Amino acid sequence: MDVYGAIASFAAIVALLTLTPGLDTALILRTSLLAGRRSAWAVVLGIQASILLWGLLTAAGLSALLTASQTAYEVVRWAGVAYLVWMGGRMLWQSRTSRADDDASPGPPDAGWGRAFRRGLLSNLLNPKVGAFYVAVLPQFMPQGVPHAVMGVLLAGVHVCEVLVWSAVLIGFTGILRGWLRRPSVKRGLDRLTGLVVIGFGLRLATQQS
């Protein structure tokens, strides 16, 4: 398999992964609807940064620890479980108040952006399944004669580009409905729904084995 064939095949696989509804989609939609496009793009950039990091770590062979070391895998897995359950619980708690989203509350402009970026970054970095996916899939698309680090970053870049396009579609779609969806009762309902979804992902991660 040459470089172009490897990129095309990998792009097809991650396109299906990107279009499948999951935690990232829920976070992007919820943030775009409740906190606006700026915070939504911060979540997107955090997700992209985590993808690039996983690609680089996989190419460097470091993330293979997740499959070779049960202890390392369990540490990352339970950190991810704790973070997702905490984040989902926080959303449910916020839905009980008049503020549906802390990113939309008054404060320094960069504070909400930074929190949104960290939310997108940590939701993927603390999910060992993402690392396991890259460990299992990336080596199959490494042509001979190409440095693994370079190819790993290149393939992760393809994944990033596809997620950026899909995120733009999601954020653009929510912009059409934002006026109605920003009503207090609807905002509380969205926070409750997204909080339950996030907790569900955390509980699923807790019950999955490496």
Q: Per residue in 6-21, pLDDT tens?
A: 888 889 888 887 887 7
Dist. CA 187–CA 179, nearest whole Å: 11
**Orientation angle between helical segments 23-35 and 109-125, nearest 10 degrees:** 170
Instruction: Give the domain extent around 73.
Output: 3-207
Percentage helix, strand, coil for the chain under 3-state DSSP, each rounded to 5: 85, 0, 15
Residue type, 183: R
What does 151-189 look like in DSSP terms, one character per residue? Answer: HHHHHHHHHHHHHHHHHHHHHHHHHHHHHHHTSHHHHHH
pLDDT digits (tens, 9 = 90+) for 66-115: 556 667 667 766 776 787 787 778 777 776 764 544 444 433 344 478 88
pLDDT digits (tens, 9 = 90+) for 121-167: 988 887 766 766 776 677 677 777 777 777 778 888 898 899 999 99
Per-residue confidence (pLDDT) for residue 162, from 0 to 100:
92
Number of domain units in the chain: 1
Check the CA dihedral 196-202-206-208 and report its sign: positive
Dist. CA 145–CA 9, nearest whole Å: 18
